[in-house]
Structure 1
Amino acid sequence: MTELRVGTYNLRGLRDDVPALVRVLTAMRADLICLQEAPRLAGWRARCERLAARCGLRLVAGQGVAGVAVLAAPRVRSLHAESGLLRVFLGLEPRGLAVAVVEVGGAPLAVASVHLDLDGRARLHHAAEAMARVRRVAAPYGAPVVLGGDLNESPHQPAWRYLAGQLTDCYAAAPRGDGLTFTARRPGHRIDGVFAAPGIQVLSCGGVDAPGADLAAATDHLPVVAHLRLAG
């Protein structure tokens, strides 16, 4: 059995207090972190790599147009990375998927980061498209799937319900804390989540033990971390 921590965090484009953000990312103590609103466009990779290095992590997958990425701790071995845009909806922001197939303690795992749209029709389409893609990437490695993201909707809404029907909503399975993630200063909604394949045991899922001042200053979302156990 292998235990690991997988987190998800919307960085708001590093427009806030970056030193506070680094402290929160470090406090997550995660083996893998799915990022949304990571640095984008020109120089995105170098900026993501610099941020990762400040937290003792490394960039293992990313999509520079959509601002999604996956960071990994030193003990995580990278096997494959694949990223790309999801279907483009006219008039809406480009959305993408970053997938890293990794090995932790001898066990394979496919970890994907996604940031769904504000438009409900696009959200549901992209949720299904993301699941199909990450499963395709994971299949050659026999890797179970973990998906982390900013879903831009609550658990009772269609895209969230779709993902929770395909994977386990980790917070619902083993909640720690109130689970609210938005806004960071006045949390009132759970719109960020980690979802794991049914064969993965969820030991706990919730917020991060970091100073409230850092959580409020780092970005407008709160991070989520799931403590998981893999068979193998």
Structure 2
Amino acid sequence: MTADRGVPLRVVSYNIHTQRDDAAALAAVVRAAEPDVVIVQEGPRRFRWRQKSATLAESFGMVVAAGGLPALGNLLLTSLRVRVTATRCQRFPLTPGRHLRGAAYAECRVGGARFLLAGSHLSTDPAERPGQAAAFKRELSAATLPVVAGADLNEGPDGPAWRGVAEGLTDTAVAMDRADRHTYSCADPRRRIDALFVDPRITVVDYDVVDTPQTRRASDHFPILVDLLLPAT
């Protein structure tokens, strides 16, 4: 790809269901996609989470960039093609008695392009999702680099949390006219609750929800696979 057209980046965003399903199928799904980055929801976040994260990354043929316990299970993985220059984690304000949620961020460089990779997983509780979405959105809006953000939003595009995160960004499914592709659940696909949003300066080349016999064994969510062209700096 020539520099004036952009720098290619292949992204997988994937809720892996805390690895409770077929681990071999999960690894095979990601390896077959050959991504440059993987945005993981429901990754390791408890006892020996560092070792478990490294083992998961190795099974994918990737390395850990950011996340894990400090990001409450959100994990960012990269191929060796991608250089990570800075990372940080976020925990959303705790609502008593509710589930802890957070996000992970990594400033990255690939070829002649720089970008912010981000991942989050919002609550199943509709009362607290908008506040978490707002906290996530503040970080994305403050970014000086083009944003590539994957999330399990636990609601569809008509929900307030989804709309809040999506504002000013490109919904990659909509860009490819594939917003009818459901991401959840693998057993009974009826909802699109997982998304990849990107900065408008980024070109969306292709979008897919990978529905195969392997993905149906690997998790309760289907993975999103997106090809992008990043603006060269």
TM-score by length of 1: 0.92
Residue 225 (structure 1) aligns with: 225
C-alpha contact 1:177 1:207 (8 A) present in aligned 2: no
Residue 64 (structure 1) aligns with: 69
Residue 38 (structure 2) aligns with: 33
The unaligned stretches of length 5 or more in structure 2 are 1-5
Residue 11 (structure 2) aligns with: 6
| C-alpha displacement of 1:213 | 2.0
Q: How does 1:108-119 map to 2 (within 5 A)?
A: 108-119=114-125
Letter in 1 for 2:231: A
Deviating 4+ runs (over 3 angstroms):
175-178
1:124 is matched with which residue: 127, 130, 145? 130
Residue 216 (structure 2) aligns with: 216
The unaligned stretches of length 5 or more in structure 1 are none
Alpha-carbon displacement from aligned partner over 1:14-44 (angstroms, at most 9, x marks no partner) = 1111001101111222111111110111211
1:93 and 1:41 map into 2 onto residues whose CA distance is: 14
C-alpha contact 1:151 1:192 (8 A) present in aligned 2: yes
**Aligned-pair Cα RMSD in Å:** 1.5
Residue 207 (structure 1) aligns with: 209
C-alpha contact 1:63 1:85 (8 A) present in aligned 2: no
Count how many residue pairs are aligned between Structure 1 and Structure 2.
Answer: 226
Residue 3 (structure 2) aligns with: none
| C-alpha displacement of 1:58 | 0.6
Letter in 1 for 2:208: G
2:146 and 2:194 map into 1 onto residues whose CA distance is: 20
Partner SS, residue 112 of structure 1:
strand
C-alpha contact 2:181 2:192 (8 A) present in aligned 1: yes
Residue 106 (structure 1) aligns with: 112
| C-alpha displacement of 1:231 | 1.2
2:172 is matched with which residue: 167, 170, 173? 170
| C-alpha displacement of 1:79 | 0.6
TM-score by length of 2: 0.92
1:18 is matched with which residue: 23, 28, 45? 23
1:154 and 1:52 map into 2 onto residues whose CA distance is: 29
Residue 197 (structure 1) aligns with: 199
2:230 and 2:127 map into 1 onto residues whose CA distance is: 34
Residue 49 (structure 1) aligns with: 54
1:79 is matched with which residue: 78, 85, 91? 85
1:64 and 1:37 map into 2 onto residues whose CA distance is: 10
C-alpha contact 1:14 1:38 (8 A) present in aligned 2: yes
C-alpha contact 2:107 2:117 (8 A) present in aligned 1: yes
| C-alpha displacement of 1:130 | 0.8
Letter in 2 for 1:9: Y
Alpha-carbon displacement from aligned partner over 1:207-227 (angstroms, at most 9, x marks no partner) = 23x7x2211111100000221
| C-alpha displacement of 1:134 | 3.6
Partner SS, residue 126 of structure 1:
helix
2:161 and 2:87 map into 1 onto residues whose CA distance is: 25
